[in-house]
């Protein structure tokens, strides 16, 4: 497997893994699904928790990256 890591965040209903065919991406990267979001004011927590990821996919608009 590749060293590429993908974070899918704000999957609050825990359905992202089952709602799409991730197999092509999983063949090239590790995918980690997060139920939590990172709202404004939690930038430091987001930076720490997501620092090991190469790609961040947002499921919703609730996380703030400015």
pLDDT > 90 in the chain, percent: 45
- The whole-chain average pLDDT of the chain stands at 87
The residues spanned by each domain of the chain are 5-58
pLDDT (mean) for 12-28:
90
For residue range 48-62, list pLDDT tens digits in order.
999 999 999 888 767
User: Virtual CA dihedral for 43, 8, 32, 53, nearest 10 degrees?
Assistant: -50
Looking only at Cα atoms, what is the longest distance across the chain? 35
Q: What is the pTM of this model?
A: 0.83
pLDDT score at 56: 92
Say whether pLDDT at 12 is over 70. yes
Residue among 48, 64, 51, 56 at smallest CA distance from 7? 56
């Amino acid at each position: 497997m590749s060293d590429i890591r993908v974070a899918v965040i704000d999957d609050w209903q825990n359905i992202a893994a089952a709602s799409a065919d991730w197999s092509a991406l999983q063949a090239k990267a590790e995918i980690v699904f997060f139920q939590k979001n990172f709202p404004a004011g939690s930038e430091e927590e987001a930076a720490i928790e997501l620092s090991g990821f190469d790609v961040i996919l947002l499921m919703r608009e609730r996380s703030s990256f400015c």
